[in-house]
Every structure is written in structure tokens, then in C-alpha cells.
Amino acid sequence: MKKFISVITLSLASFMSSAASVSFPEAIDVLAVNGLNNVDGRYLELDQGHNLIEVRYRDLFEASAEDSNWVRSEPLYLYLDFEVASHYQALIPNIRTEEDAYLFIENPMLQLRDAKGDEKQLSLMTHSQLMAKLLLPQQ
């Protein structure tokens, strides 16, 4: 009986400590969360408060019947602050061509949709943009 109660207590504690979950589209690889590299790249459970997610866009496009090209971004960073426990879905624009992919990489934005259907548009930052955000005083 003590074992059963311990299992339930641990399960509830882990559920309550997780503030949010986020699922990502196939074209977005999650590289790290809060500096930790061993993460499940499609579905993340994140702690309440601030979270830094490192991602990379990558997709394969057919140039011809015999040739295809990978389009990859440099690492991009998503800075999130979760106050409410909810499941979120990260959505990127509909990218059909290589040109669309390069346009996305030049200005990487995604939509974060919560379980109620509310959406928030967020910018993905490059490493230098992230450093500027962290190091320069907010004005």
C-alpha cells in the first residue's frame, strides 16, 4: 500500500510541476531545452516559468525528378514563459517551395496555439539576437 501511495504522489508531483506541453511540426527539430540536449524533438513537457528552446528548421525539396535539396536554418531560439498549464501546438507557415523556406529562415515566426484555440505569434531568434536580448538593457 505504501508503494502505491508513493507512486501516486510522485505522479501527481510530476504532473503539477509541469506547466505546459508543446508539440512541434515535422520541419522543426528541437535541439535543446534550457541547455539540455537529450530531448524528445516533437513533444516537450516544460516547467512553469521561463524556458529557452533551441530549434532548427529543415526540410527536403525536390529540385527535379532526380535531384533534391535540403534547406536548413542555423539554430534558432524560442524564449517562452508559461504561467498557465496547457497544451500548446507550434505552427509554422505553409512552406511549399525552397523559396518559401528561405523566406521563412530570413524572418522565422511561428504561431503558438493553446488548447482553447487562442494563438500568439512569436519570433524565433538567431544566436546573436538572443545574446542581444539577454545582454542589452531593456528599454
Looking at per-residue pLDDT, the higher value among 47 and 57 belongs to 57
What values do phi and psi take at 131, rounded to 5? -60, -40
Q: Which has more pLDDT, 42 or 118?
A: 118
Q: In Å, how far from its chain's centre is CA 70?
A: 20
Give the model confidence (pLDDT) of 95-131 as tens digits. 999 999 999 999 999 999 998 999 999 999 999 999 9
Q: How confident is the model at residue 11 (pLDDT cuts 50, 70, 90)?
A: very low
Res 23 pLDDT > 60: yes
d(CA 95, CA 100): 5
Q: Does the model's pTM come out above 0.85?
A: no
What totals of helices (H) and strands (E) does the chain contain, helices first?
3, 9
Which residues lie closer than 8 Å to 133 by C-beta, 6 or more apart? 79, 125
Q: What is the pLDDT of residue 36?
A: 87
Cα gap 123→137, rounded to integer Å: 19
